Structure 1
Amino acid sequence: MAEQTTTDPTSSAALVSVSSPNPPKKENTNPIDSKLLMELNESRAELLNRIWNLKQDLQSWRGKLDTQVQVYREELSGLKKTLNLEVEQLREEFKDLKTTLNQQQDDVSASLKSLGLQDDSKDSKEQMVVTEERVEARLTDENAKEAEP
């Protein structure tokens, strides 16, 4: 260790120590360094193993999730097709019912005319047309909502 004295005009003489760090003693630090290095390597290996396991778990989870999403999409698609078929069937039944009711109303009107009675079914026909339009509008709205993703 080298010491150097400097003079400061405003204060008393100061002693400044200029030295370089002592070189490590190889016989004392070598076992500590190797032990520390070994512990660090073990810790690193454990962390890498944990990271690898987490990646494997994540890949497994993603695979299971993708499979489940695909199953749900297929089920949803099947339900949607079934629902659309049922809606279409109800529309056909409604049209058939409408045709049957119109035919019956025409038959009643013809019977009343043949008996010489007055036909008041004109007002009821108009009411039925308005009701039919409302039902068809509702069905159209419901189908539009079903078609949305």
Structure 2
Amino acid sequence: MAAETSAPHPPSLPPPATAAAPRHPRLSGFEQLDTRVKELTSSQAELLERIQKLKQEVHNWRSNIETQVKTCQNELQGLKKGLDSEVEQLKSEMKEIRSAIQKEKGNLSAQSTTLETSNNDTKQALQTQDQVLKADTEASMEEQTATQA
């Protein structure tokens, strides 16, 4: 009998039920891990997709901002050129006005000198007339005095 108990089981027989029971909980743990790995992988893929979308949004936003900045710079350069042109025109006009004022000053000085000369000539003419009138008046008075005497 001892030989019977020590004899091996034939290989075609299924393993006993007690051996199958411990394997099942082990497979169930792997299945849970596999499911969790799939969830994490899916979550990672979603996160990567969101990151890619955010990167694209940032790239588009930056591109739009750069375009706006260039547009503003171009507008400012145009305005600056316009202002520079106006300033140059105003400077030119101011030079013309200054030279016209200087010319007028010169003309006024010349006119003033001419007027002074004219005034002096007029004064002299008036003095001469006064002297002639005085002389005529004195002569008339002498004649009257001589006629009365």
Which range, TM-score by smaller chain? Answer: 0.5 to 0.7
Answer 1 or 2: which has greater helix percent: 2
Q: Which residue of 2 aligns with 1:52?
A: 52
Q: Deviations over 1:29-73 (max 9, x none)?
A: 112111101110111011001100011001101110110011011
Q: Which residue of 1 aligns with 2:30?
A: 30
State the 1:28 CA deviation: 2.2
1:39 corresponds to 2:39: yes
The residue type equivalent to 1:35 in the other structure is T
Q: Which residue of 2 aligns with 1:72?
A: 72
State the 1:107 CA deviation: 0.7
Higher relative contact order (CA 8 A, sep 6+): 1
TM-score by length of 1: 0.60
**Which runs of 5 or more structure 1 residues have no equivalent in the other structure?**
1-24, 118-149
| Matched length | 93
The residue type equivalent to 2:96 in the other structure is D
Alpha-carbon distance in 2 for matches of 1:28, 1:42: 21
Q: Which residue of 1 aligns with 2:110?
A: 110
Alpha-carbon distance in 2 for matches of 1:81, 1:26: 82
Q: Deviations over 1:73-126 (max 9, x none)?
A: 100100110010000000000000001111111111100000117xxxxxxxxx
**Aligned-residue CA RMSD (Å):** 1.2
Answer 1 or 2: which has greater strand percent: 1
State the 1:26 CA deviation: 3.0
Structure 1 stretches of 4+ with a deviation exceeding 3 A read none
TM-score by length of 2: 0.60
**Which runs of 5 or more structure 2 residues have no equivalent in the other structure?**
1-24, 118-149
Alpha-carbon distance in 1 for matches of 2:114, 2:28: 127
Alpha-carbon distance in 1 for matches of 2:53, 2:27: 40
* % same residue: 37
